[in-house]
Structure 1
Amino acid sequence: MEKLKRKLEPELKENVADFLKKEANVRLAYIFGSYGTKYQNTDSDLDLAVFFDDPPEILEQMELAARLELELGKYDIDLINLNNVKLDFKYEVVKGGELIYSRDEIETAEFKEEVLRLGPEAEEIKYKFQQEYITAIKEKTSGINHKRIAEKLRFIRANLKKLKELAELEQINFLSDYRNFDAAKYNLQAAVEAMLDIAAHIISREGYTSPNTSADSFRILADEGIITEDLLLKFVKMTKFRNRIVHLYDQIDEEYIYRIINNNLSDIESFVDLIANRYF
């Protein structure tokens, strides 16, 4: 989301912060939406996104918004509970909104760090599902595209072949050439991304619940009996590893990669076998 220039009345900011300060359950709050921007009009509500220690029931949430309206006197408050929204919405609020109240700077920094770190992943998931929807329309079918899954499986198998060749190297030889590390890292990342593409395709075409994160994709496949529960944790760890490569690439060391290609390739093979046996 583009960061909109937002000009808020100092009195409004002060009054909202003073009100929320008295609410022990409120951790932080953002003003977002059109209010205070060039898009504000006479129908614009004051959109307030609040993160709580203990998420309130909807009636409590409505009561809080009503009390704030009475306190401010001239605003229609639309209060959103940040605890109960999807990650992509949190990301939009943090990126595009203005922090108006923070109970604790460290708590707020940790919240923002997590949302900004994981938010792009949520955007990626949303994009994958949009692409699946568009492709389904073009193909005039909502069913599984077996050809596409077969292509992804072939791609994963090709990556596994390269990774196994690298795994055959003695550790000292693997570590002595940076190209081995780069090749292993790339092929691992590409294999996991292809697994996620397959998961997104299956979830979209079968009409399963949309995931919030990449790891959720594997949880949904497990819930639907497509992958086994004992492999679920391993695939979730793979997703976290893939995210580290993408976002924390400078924190991946060569020995860690070497251990993975020697100990964990069978997990990727298990995924390939499960998908192949189910759809072919």
Structure 2
Amino acid sequence: MDEKLAFQMRHISKYLGRLKEVAKTPREEYLRDSILQSASERYLQLCIESCINVGNRLISMLQVDQQFEAPKTFADVFRELEKQKITQGLEPAMTEMTKFRNRLVHVYWDISPEVVYDIIHNYLKDVDLFLKQVALYINKNNL
């Protein structure tokens, strides 16, 4: 496997693991713990950014053999992955994750702990599926 892809995929797994540990925390306890909230936001940001990095790396590898325009936005990365049949059905969810990443980075003062808690409990499955679909593609294509 490509070393850069492997590195980023290991990080996705690490951040997912940490977020899944946070998910074991009862809601009320989570909402009282500002340190846990901050750590969760950072792990979520890093997890999403690692997904973007994986997508960008795969796209750049494909561009060696194919002529197509590079993604202009992070959301475009996930659109292109769908177009190239690397992922299936994940573009809407991953685009929403990208939008949330942008909020974490650029509008961090307006992040609701309840929303982060909800993402941790209901949307990490999309990142899990992203990781599985990408791994399948990489294995199938000997990348």
TM-score between the two structures when normalised by the length of structure 2: 0.91
Please name the residue that 1:193 is paired with: 49
- Out of 127, 133, 136, which is 1:277 matched to? 136
Verify: 1:150 aligned to 2:6, yes or no. Answer: yes
Aligned counterparts of 1:276 and 1:146: Cα–Cα separation in 2: 11
2:25 pairs with 1:169: yes
Alignment length (residue pairs): 135
Q: CA RMSD in A?
A: 1.0
- Which residue in the other structure is 1:130 paired with? none
**What TM-score do you get using the length of structure 1 for normalisation?**
0.47
Q: Deviations over 1:1-20 (max 9, x none)?
A: xxxxxxxxxxxxxxxxxxxx
**1:184 and 1:258 mapped to 2: Cα distance?**
9
Q: Equivalents in 2 of 1:267, 1:209: separation in Å?
A: 26
Cα distance per residue 1:75-98 (max 9 Å; x no partner): xxxxxxxxxxxxxxxxxxxxxxxx
Partner of 1:243: 102
Once residues 217 and 262 of structure 1 are traced to their aligned partners in structure 2, the CA distance between those partners, rounded to angstroms, is 25
Q: 1:69-80 maps to which residues of 2 (within 5 A)?
A: none
Q: Is the 8 A contact 1:226 1:275 kept in 2?
A: yes
Does the CA-based 8 Å contact 1:203-1:209 persist in structure 2? no
The one-letter code of the counterpart of 1:235 is: M
Determine which structure has greater relative contact order: mean sequence separation of CA pairs < 8 Å that are 6+ residues apart, divided by chain length: 2
Alignment equivalent of 1:203, drawn from 59, 63, 85? 59
SS in 2 for 1:218: helix
Counterpart Cα distance in 1 of 2:35 and 2:71: 35
Structure 2, unaligned runs of 5 or more: none
Which string of whole-angstrom CA distances, capped at 9 and with x for unpartnered residues, describes residues 52-100 of structure 1? xxxxxxxxxxxxxxxxxxxxxxxxxxxxxxxxxxxxxxxxxxxxxxxxx
Which amino acid in structure 1 is aligned with residue 78 of structure 2? F
Q: Give runs of ≥4 in structure 1 deviating > 6 Å.
A: none
Give 1 or 2: higher strand fraction: 1
Instruction: Tell me how far apart the structure 2 counterparts of residues 149 and 205 of structure 1 sit (CA, whole Å).
Output: 10
1:209 Cα offset (Å): 2.3
Q: Which amino acid aligns with 1:204?
A: S
Tell me if structure 2 keeps the 8 A contact 1:215–1:236.
yes
Whole-Å separation in 1 of the counterparts to 2:3 and 2:123: 27
Pair 1:212-2:72 in alignment? yes
